[in-house]
Structure 1
Amino acid sequence: MTKWGRDDSRLPKALRGLRLPLVAAPLFIVSAPDLVIAQCKAGIVGAFPALNAREADGEHPLLDTWLTRINEELDRHNQANPDRPAAPFAVNQIVHRSNGRLDRDLEICVRHKVPVWITSLGARVEVNEAAHSCGGVVLHDIINNTFARKAIDKGADGLIAVAAGAGGHAGPQSPFALIREIRDWFDGPLLLSGAIASGEALLAARAVGADFGYMGSPFIATREANAQSGYKDMIVSSGAEDIVTSSLFTGVSGNYLKPSIMAAGMDPENLPSADASSMNFSSGSSKPKAWKEIWGAGQGIGAVREVADVASLVNRIEKEYLHAGASLAAEFAP
């Protein structure tokens, strides 16, 4: 049971007792230890992609260094703040066959006993077994009900429903349709991604049947984020009309900031498409270096009005969430 009275007893232990029902999405390049630690200290699940930790040839694996730092800093925080412990963290594994680092990264994550694993671009039994071997909880991101069933059949513990409006590789379906179809057969942990950028949106995610919101784009515009200042400022100055959906940059449909596409000398209204066969994570990202400043974002960025620290952002989300919940509860009071 959370302090607000939400019954989360059916959820895996790692996902219980959070300050808010909120998981931070792992963001390419942007999510690094500073951001993850701040998110966890603020009481929500912080996350980063394993492929963000990239060392030079011959150097010690940076992923190992990052996980050591995250575990140590969160442990110090918990010892100093027993009444306000940090939330757990998550590591995102790209399960695509072109990810040549996967086996090594799995071994490192098992050794560090990563509590929450987020898997993307393919559900694989052996990855889920690796996570379970160290007590980890696996959340797999999906864009439709068919993929959801496959993920659970292969051993995932929970699902991240990536609906229309999400940043990065977004699905095309309405969150109302996607969550409802999944909830017809699945009672496990379910997260919703897609324009979750305010406390009101988080409450809506809960109302439609999700256990958690999955928020990414607002964290780009935080001081702890490993993002260029131009990227952060573009998030603040843009809205839903500034989001373009295209498969050109990675081979899979995704949502990107129109001004960044224009800055690269392209017409956002006339972009060619690309095939999924062009996706390759052997170098750490599916995005060619030529497009490294094509910046992803979701349609919820109109709610982001300033570059703030993570603690202030989570405080805002909590305030909006509780106010929206109280307002709706009043409507249904006898």
Structure 2
Amino acid sequence: MSRPWNATHAESHLPKALQGLRIPAVASPLFIISVPALVIAQCKAGVIGSFPALNAREGEGEHPLLDTWLTQIKEELDRHNQANPDTPAAPYAVNQIVHRSNGRLERDIEICVKHEVPVWITSLGARVEVNDAAHSCGGITLHDIINNKFAKKAIEKGADGLIAVAAGAGGHAGPQSPFALVQEIRNWFDGPLLLSGSIATGDAVLAARAMGADLGYIGSPFIATEEANAVQGYKEAIVGGSAADIVTSSLFTGVSGNYLRPSIEAAGMDPDNLPSADSTSMNFGEGSAKPKAWKEIWGAGQGIGAVDAVQPAGKLVDRIASEYHAAVARLAGEAG
């Protein structure tokens, strides 16, 4: 696993945790789907792997599963790094849902501080105390936002960087063009900026960097990997789907999100005539924003047309890395 792209200058303003990656990319935390096996495979392949803290759900009275998962991830990556000193694994990240209904937040923060998690991804609320906790153990925070207003609030409250969630992203996607969103943020912010929204190829990662982002934020393609905690039908729907199969709705969580049309139809609903819901219906008290009746509604972004097979996560990263380097060489040749 080589790192042939010359990123010394491009990375100079980035925190250490975001430097030295195989390609400038972070694997986004996928609800239910991202588990230690996937995170470890992503990190070993050279991109930052991540998972939502709420994915680690233990039974009543059991030891916190988040603590167990973090121990497993750290130990496995340490073994890898000792065996492969020339190609060490990328850092890992944990996503914290900063929402008033997340009753586990304080406990999960304590566990992440204990394990000195290097990258914290925060969603659905920017809070000073969460950023302070990350900084107390040497970590950095990246806050996901859907518009420039929320971006400014996140930085004001101490976030180190931003994840611009633009149109076409899976899950809770924003409505704005990535060009407009990145442009507005870069007018005032020169810190770490990631771009989410149909980033499914190496060409898209390079395009994200060309428009001003530092790294691409890749989600949906990792659903169709062997390590992903998704049912086979979900993985096959990603492989067989395209942008035309993505439906935007607020019904399932109270916040606008993108979902696979076939899963909505399978639940007996008309994807073209879905009622809306407001944010008061969102509840992470049980670790999920979806009612049980909608547990088979599958999230995905518009970039799934680039996914043509279920494969190991490492091979997916290989493909994206190969495309990225080819795109860099092609454009360099045109410029020359």
Aligned: 1:139 with 2:142:
yes
Cα deviation 1:256-307 (Å, max 9, x = unaligned): 0000000000000000000110001000011111100100000000000000
Aligned: 1:292 with 2:260:
no
Matches for 1:234-249 after TM superposition, within 5 Å = 234-249=237-252
Match of 1:324 among 314, 317, 327: 327
* Aligned residue identity for 1:124: R
Structure-1 separation of matches of 2:267 and 2:4: 48
Divergent runs of 4+, >2 A: none
Match of 1:255 among 252, 258, 282: 258
- Paired residues of 2:224 and 2:238 also in contact (CA < 8 A): yes
- Paired residues of 2:80 and 2:88 also in contact (CA < 8 A): yes
Aligned to 2:5: 4
Structure-1 separation of matches of 2:101 and 2:147: 23
Match of 1:27 among 19, 25, 30: 30
Structure-2 separation of matches of 1:3 and 1:203: 14
Aligned: 1:83 with 2:83:
no
Query: Deviation of residue 5 (structure 1)?
Result: 1.1
Aligned to 1:148: 151
Give the count of matched residue pairs: 332
- Paired residues of 2:39 and 2:92 also in contact (CA < 8 A): yes
* Aligned residue identity for 2:46: G
Gaps of 5+ in 1: none
Cα deviation 1:96-139 (Å, max 9, x = unaligned): 01100000000000000000000000000000000000000100
Aligned to 1:73: 76
Aligned: 1:100 with 2:83:
no
Structure 2 counterpart SS, 1:126: helix
Query: Deviation of residue 3 (structure 1)?
Result: 4.1
Structure-2 separation of matches of 1:223 and 1:136: 29
Query: Deviation of residue 311 (structure 1)?
Result: 1.0
Match of 1:200 among 203, 207, 215: 203
Query: Deviation of residue 229 (structure 1)?
Result: 0.3
Aligned: 1:218 with 2:221:
yes
Aligned to 2:188: 185
Cα deviation 1:72-92 (Å, max 9, x = unaligned): 000000000000100000000
Aligned residues with identical type, % of pairs: 77
- Paired residues of 2:235 and 2:310 also in contact (CA < 8 A): yes
Structure-2 separation of matches of 1:303 and 1:157: 31
Structure-2 separation of matches of 1:39 and 1:55: 24
- Calculate the TM-score normalised by the size of structure 2: 0.98
- Calculate the TM-score normalised by the size of structure 1: 0.99
* Aligned residue identity for 1:61: P
Aligned to 2:16: 13
Structure-2 separation of matches of 1:29 and 1:63: 13
Structure-1 separation of matches of 2:294 and 2:213: 34
Structure 2 counterpart SS, 1:91: strand
Structure-2 separation of matches of 1:226 and 1:288: 19
Aligned to 2:172: 169
- Paired residues of 2:5 and 2:23 also in contact (CA < 8 A): no
* Aligned residue identity for 1:291: W
Gaps of 5+ in 2: none
Match of 2:59 among 56, 60, 63: 56
Match of 2:232 among 226, 229, 234: 229
Aligned to 1:265: 268
* Aligned residue identity for 1:81: N
